[in-house]
Amino acid sequence: MATDKKSNQVYFTFLTAFTVLAILLATAGTALAEEEKELTVYCGAGLTGAISEIAEIYRNESNMTVKFNFDGVPALRAQIEEGAYADVLVSANVKHMKALQSEGFMDNQTVQIFAQNKVAIIVPNDNPANITNFTDLARPGVKILMGTKELPAGDYALQVLDKLANDSEYGPAYREAVLANVVSQETTVNRVVSKVALGEADAGFAFISDVSPQMVGKVTRVLIPDKFNVVGDFPVGVLSQSKYPAESKTFIDEIMSEDGQAILDKYGFIPVK
């Protein structure tokens, strides 16, 4: 009997230890699963600095990490259409967002405008070609960079040139002379800015926000008068495929918050709130 009692004690001790271990493993597994939750954000390359800074606030206030894919918006759209996974799309124009909405890729109720932007001419800081106004862009031999027509920065630049072409002071010949000086059409606005900063071109069409804190002292902005400029709306939204729709909406709320809008303003974007 004593042996049986001792055996039972050993058995129950083992069972208790096993149960505690199982609970600990289950708890650890749950915690690990929570730690591994990751938000995938597709974002226009020109928004890299601002959205990365907003994401740091989001990380500190949630248990989510954020994985970014920064690229030109046309490339991001193509990747999504080809089946790539993303939770949130931060776009630099409405055109590509609307296309994805019409194709069923977006949760349309979450799509909203988070910032605006305008076109600017940028030149190297030492400005060797002495570009000071629109007229200078049409001079023979001036080397100009712009985005492809599908890239938001390129699309908006073409709209500016169309406005100038319709003005009696410039006209269609001016637009054609400027386009003849375009030596390269880039797939991201960041490439336009970096190449101008390196002196690989005399001027480039970008956004006012592209002279970011990091680019001050490397490029100079030549502002375009409002009557010729284009105000671009920047939308953000949650994708229909998102595994974390609630967390994705919280990320957008962070962008729309007072802190998020202040960061966008710091980087040269036009806040909407």
Q: Per-residue pLDDT tens for 78-119?
A: 999 999 999 999 999 999 999 999 999 999 999 999 999 999
141, 198 in Cβ contact below 8 A?
Answer: no
In CATH, the architecture of 35-116+233-271 is 3-Layer(aba) Sandwich (3.40)
Asked whether the predicted pLDDT for residue 4 surpasses 50, the reply is yes
pLDDT at 218: 87
Query: Which own/partner pairs from 255-263 qualify as long-range (CB within 8 Å, at least 24 positions apart)?
Result: 255/51, 255/54, 255/90, 255/114, 256/112, 256/114, 259/54, 259/57, 260/54, 260/57, 260/114, 261/115, 263/50, 263/53, 263/54
Task: For 160-199, give one letter per residue: b (16+ CB within 10 A) or e.
Answer: bbebbeeeeebeeebbebbeebbebbbbbbbbbbbbbbee
What is the average per-residue pLDDT within 215-221?
82
Q: Is 181 helix (H, G, I), strand (E, B) or coil?
A: coil
Phi, psi values for residue 222, rounded to 5°: -110, 110
pLDDT at 2 over 60: no
**Annotation: CATH topology of 117-231:** D-Maltodextrin-Binding Protein; domain 2 (3.40.190)
Using the structure block, give the residue that is written with the tokens 């918050």: 257
Over residues 14-59, the pLDDT tens digits come to 445 445 444 545 554 444 444 568 999 999 999 999 999 999 999 9
Q: What is the pTM of this model?
A: 0.81
The answer, yes or no, to whether residue 7 has pLDDT greater than 70, is no
Query: What residue spans in the chain does CATH classification 3.40.190.10 cover?
Result: 35-116+233-271, 117-231
How confident is the model at residue 20, as a pLDDT? 42
